[in-house]
Amino acid sequence: MSHKGSCHCGRIAFEVEGEPTSVMACNCSICQRKGALMWFVPFEHLHLTTPEQNASTYTFNKHVIRHRFCPVCGMHPYGEGTAPDGRPMAAINVRCLEDIDIDALPITHYDGRSH
């Protein structure tokens, strides 16, 4: 199944393949402030429908995750990183997907503040 998502203003839009069975809430300094619920997929499952350069990038700490956000509306629809096995991954903020019942998804809490 494919899901459509975007930032609030639509400058960043995408489709993502797959079906979230759970999401992650992280308490690190940025995720706690964003309130994002992340669904991790192989990067090739993320298909931008707007130009990649529409998204700005923020990195911090170890600079291993590229937090992608819209410079116009400020939304953080996805991030880019690498799985422990070296595969490129995307972290999709399910709050930016059009057709997801967030209340139906189990949430795993990750202690990013301690890592």
DSSP assigned state of 97: B
Average pLDDT over residues 68-90: 97
Q: What is the pLDDT of residue 103?
A: 94
Average pLDDT over residues 79-102: 96
pTM equals 0.94
Give the lowest-confidence range in 62-66, 76-80, 85-89.
62-66
Distance set, CA 113 to CA 23, 25, 48, 72, 82 (Å): 18, 12, 30, 28, 19
- Report CA Rg, the chain: 13
Average pLDDT over residues 44-73: 96
Average pLDDT over residues 71-88: 96
Written out in words, the top-level CATH class of the domain with range 2-114 is mainly beta
Q: Which sequence spans correspond to the domains of the chain?
A: 2-114
| Distance separating alpha carbons of residues 23 and 74, to the nearest angstrom | 22
On the question of pLDDT at 49 being above 90, the answer is yes
Predicted confidence (pLDDT) per residue in 55-65, tens digit: 999 999 888 89
Average pLDDT over residues 37-64: 96
